[in-house]
Amino acid sequence: MAIVEVRDLTKTFNAETTEPIRVLSHLNLDVEEGEFVALMGPSGSGKTTLLNLIAGLDSPTSGTITIGGQVISALSESELAKWRTRNVGFVFQFYNLLPVLTAYENVELPLLLLPMSAAQRKEKVKNALEIVGLGDRLDHRPGKLSGGQCQRVGIARAIVTDPTIVVCDEPTGALDAKSADTALNLLNLLRSELGKTILMVTHDPAAANRAQRIVMLDKGRLASSDAANMARATSR
C-alpha cells in the first residue's frame, strides 16, 4: 500500500530577473509503507525540492501529494506546520542540533510541540536514544559527541514523535565511512524493526545501495526507479 502518492507534480520558482524556473515537471511517484527509498540525480535535478515537498516544507505549483491518506498539497502553511510536527521526522546532513542543549534535550524538542506530560516525554526520549545506542549519553552536549554520535542523536530526534515518514537529506555527507555505515544500519533498522517509511536524498552510490529502491531524477522528471537491490537491502 502506497503511503506516499505524488501525482502530476510540478514546482516552479519565480525569479525577479529571469524567467520562472521549473524544477519539477509532471512527476509521479509512489512509496510503499515501510519502504526505504533513495533519491538520486545530478545537481539541479529536483531531488531536494521533491523531498521538501513530500515533507511539507513547501507547496507545489500544481499536482497533488498525499501522505497516509492526507492530501497535504491542499493544506495551508499553518496546517502544514501542524501536520509536519506529527507526521515527519527530519535527519539533516549537519545534524542541526542545538549546541547548548544535551542529547536528551535536543531529542525532546519536537515533543514540546505536542500535548503530553513530562513523564511521557521522558519515556519517549529515553526509548529513542536507546534505539540509536546512546542511552548512556543523555547528558552529553553535541560538542562532547563525535560526528557519528551527533547524527545518531539526530536520528533519535527524527523518530521520537513516531512519525509517518522519515526524510533524510544527505545523512551521511558529513560522516566518515564507519559512522556512515552505522547511520545507514540504523535507518534500515527503523525500516525493518519499526516499519518506518524512509526517503533519503544522497549523492553517494554506496549509501543509495543500502536502500530498497533507488529513484533517479533528471531535469525535474523521474528518470528511473530501480528495485534491483530490493532483496539485498531487505536482508540487511
Give the residue-averaged pLDDT of 61-82: 95
Parent domain of 88: 2-235
State yes or no: pLDDT of 230 exceeds 60: no
- The domain tally of the chain equals 1
Render pLDDT for 144-201 as a digit per residue (tens, 0 to 9): 999 999 999 999 999 999 999 999 999 999 999 999 999 999 999 999 999 999 999 9
Q: What is the pLDDT of residue 227?
A: 66
113: domain CATH number is 3.40.50.300
Q: What is the pTM of this model?
A: 0.91
Phi, psi of 25 (to 5 degrees): -135, 110
Phi and psi of 58, rounded to 5°? -150, 170
Q: Using one digit for the tens of pLDDT, what is the confidence trace for 168-177? A: 999 999 999 9
Q: Which residues are CB-neighbours of 215 under 8 A, at least 6 positions away? A: 29, 37, 38, 39, 40, 222, 224, 225, 226
What is residue 117's predicted lDDT score, i.e. its pLDDT? 96
pLDDT, averaged across the chain:
93
Annotate 175-211 with DSSP letters as a single string: S-HHHHHHHHHHHHHHHHHH--EEEEE-S-HHHHTTS
Residue 216: beta bridge partners?
40, 224
* CA atoms of 90 and 169, how far apart (whole Å): 8
Residue 228 has pLDDT above 50, yes or no: no
User: Residue 19 corresponds to which amino acid?
Assistant: E
- Are 34 and 197 within 8 A, CB to CB? yes
pLDDT tens digits, residue range 92-124?
Answer: 999 999 999 999 999 999 999 999 999 999 999
> 503511503: which residue's cell?
3
Residues 48-69 as b/e (b if ≥16 CB within 10 A, e otherwise) read bbbbbbbbbebbbbebebbbbe
C-alpha cell, 137? 549519553
Q: Quick one: average pLDDT of 196-207?
A: 96
